[in-house]
C-alpha cells in the first residue's frame, strides 16, 4: 500500500519564503511518492480571533498558493478542514481520552496563552484537533517543522492511549520526517524563526510580495559587524541570507563559498533579492492565473473534500463502534 502523507497549514497571516523553503516546497517534491493530503486548517485558525472577511479570503489565497507552488491537484488532495465535519467530530471523541495534563504541557499553548488576555478553550484543545487531522486519515507520515514536533508526539500518545483502551484503531504516524527543508529565520531578527504572525514589515518576505517590496525587505535585513561575508565568523543574519540564497538556487556549499566569501553585505543582499524574486515570479504568475477563475479553485477544494470524506467517515464510524456510542442495530 502507498503510504499516506498529511500536513496542514493555518490560513492566518501571509505565507512566506520560510513556509515555502521549509514546508510547502518539500510537499511539492514528495507528493507523488505518497497518497497526499494537504489541509488548510481553518478550524485551527479560529482558536484565536480572525476577522471573518480576512479569514474567508485567506483560505482561498492559501489554496491558490498551494496550486501555484506546484501541489498537483490531479494527484494530491487539497482540503479545507471545515468542509469535512469528521475533523471536528473525531476531535471531540479524542478529547475524551486526552488527559488535561498532557495539554497543559504543550509549549505552544503556554506561549500563546501568555500573549493573550483571555484564552479560548479551543486554544487549549488545538493539539487534539491536530491529532484528529492526522489520525482521521491514518496518516503514516506527517511532515512538520521542529516547532510542531511536540504536537505530533501528542498525536502519537493519544493514538496509543486510544488503542490500549479500545483496541487497535489508529495507525501510529511516524515521527521521522522526510528530508526537512531549510529553517529560515526572521530577516529583522535572525534568532527567531520566520513567522506568519510576526508584525513589522521587515520580518518576512511573503510569497505574494511584489518585487520592489521583496528587495526592500531583504536590503534591510539584519547582518553583523564584519566588513563582508566570512564563513568562519558570520552571525545568524548573514547565515540566514546565505541559507535563503542556497535553498532557492540549489547551489552546493562549495559554490556558495566561492561566490560569496568576502562579498560586501550590500552586494550579498542584492543577489539574495534577485534570486528570491526570480524564483517567486513564476509562482506569482501562476497564482494570478489560478485565482482569475474562482470556480477552478472551488472545484479543486470540492474534489478534495469529496475524495477524503469517505476515508474520514470510515474512521469516525470505527471509533464510535469501538467506544460503544450509539450505532443503529441495522
Question: Choosing from 196, 216, 270, 320, which is the catalytic residue?
Answer: 196
Nearer to ligand TRP, 44 or 203 (CB): 44
Under the binding rule (CB under 6 A), the answer on residue 41 touching ligand TRP is yes
- Asked whether 268 and 238 are in contact (CB, 8 A), the reply is yes
- Asked whether 196 and 16 are in contact (CB, 8 A), the reply is yes
Under the binding rule (CB under 6 A), the answer on residue 133 touching ligand TRP is yes
Q: Is 112 an active-site residue?
A: yes
Instruction: List the interface residues with ligand TRP, window 246-305 (CB under 6 A).
Output: none
Q: Is 196 an active-site residue?
A: yes
Pairing type for strands 4-9 and 77-80 reads unpaired
Nearest approach, Cβ of 151 to ligand TRP (angstroms)? 6
Nearer to ligand TRP, 128 or 277 (CB): 128
CA 128 to chain centre: 17
| Residue given cell 491514518 in the structure block | 138
Helix, strand, coil abundance in the chain, percent, nearest 5: 60, 5, 35
Q: Total residues at the site for ligand TRP (CB under 6 A)?
A: 14
Under the binding rule (CB under 6 A), the answer on residue 130 touching ligand TRP is yes
Under the binding rule (CB under 6 A), the answer on residue 10 touching ligand TRP is yes
Nearer to ligand TRP, 144 or 319 (CB): 144
**What is the secondary structure of 218-247 as a DSSP string?**
HHT----SSSS--TTT--HHHHHHHHHHHH
Which three cell numbers mark 11?
490560513
Beta bridge partners of 38: 7, 78
Nearest approach, Cβ of 107 to ligand TRP (angstroms)? 13
Task: Enumerate binding residues for ligand TRP (CB under 6 A).
Answer: 6-10, 41, 44, 130, 133-134, 142, 144, 148, 151
As annotated, the active-site residues are 112, 193, 196
Amino acid at each position: 500500500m502507498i503510504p499516506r502523507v498529511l500536513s496542514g497549514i493555518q490560513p492566518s497571516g501571509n505565507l512566506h519564503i520560510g513556509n515555502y523553503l521549509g514546508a510547502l516546497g518539500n510537499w511539492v517534491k514528495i507528493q507523488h511518492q505518497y497518497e497526499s493530503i494537504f489541509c488548510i486548517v481553518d478550524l485551527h485558525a479560529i482558536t484565536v480571533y480572525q476577522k471573518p472577511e480576512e479569514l474567508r479570503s485567506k483560505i482561498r489565497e492559501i489554496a491558490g498558493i498551494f496550486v501555484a507552488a506546484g501541489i498537483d491537484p490531479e494527484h494530491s488532495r487539497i482540503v479545507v478542514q471545515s468542509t469535512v465535519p469528521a475533523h471536528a467530530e473525531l476531535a471531540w471523541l479524542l478529547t475524551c481520552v486526552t488527559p488535561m495534563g498532557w495539554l497543559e504541557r504543550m509549549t505552544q499553548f503556554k506561549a500563546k496563552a501568555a500573549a493573550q488576555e483571555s484564552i479560548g478553550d479551543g486554544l487549549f484543545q488545538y493539539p487534539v484537533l491536530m491529532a484528529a487531522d492526522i489520525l482521521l486519515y491514518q496518516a503514516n507520515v506527517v511532515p512538520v517543522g521542529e516547532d510542531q514536533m511536540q504536537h505530533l508526539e501528542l498525536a502519537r500518545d493519544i493514538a496509543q492511549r486510544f488503542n490500549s483502551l479500545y483496541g487497535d484503531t489508529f495507525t501510529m504516524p511516524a515521527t521521522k520526517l522526510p528530508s526537512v527543508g531549510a529553517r529560515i529565520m526572521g530577516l529583522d531578527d535572525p534568532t527567531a524563526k520566520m513567522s506568519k504572525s510576526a508584525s513589522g514589515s521587515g520580518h518576512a518576505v511573503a510569497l505574494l510580495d511584489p518585487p520592489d517590496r521583496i528587495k526592500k525587505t531583504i536590503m534591510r535585513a539584519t547582518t553583523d559587524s564584519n566588513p563582508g561575508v566570512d564563513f568562519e565568523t558570520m552571525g545568524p543574519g548573514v547565515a540566514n541570507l546565505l541559507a535563503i540564497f542556497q535553498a532557492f538556487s540549489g547551489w552546493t556549499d562549495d559554490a556558495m563559498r566561492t561566490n560569496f566569501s568576502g562579498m560586501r553585505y550590500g552586494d550579498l543582499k542584492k543577489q539574495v533579492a534577485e534570486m528570491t524574486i526570480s524564483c517567486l515570479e513564476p509562482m506569482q504568475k501562476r497564482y494570478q492565473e489560478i485565482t482569475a477563475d474562482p470556480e477552478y479553485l472551488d472545484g479543486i477544494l470540492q474534489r478534495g473534500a469529496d475524495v477524503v470524506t469517505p476515508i474520514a467517515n470510515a474512521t469516525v464510524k470505527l471509533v464510535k463502534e469501538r467506544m460503544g456510542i450509539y450505532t443503529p442495530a441495522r
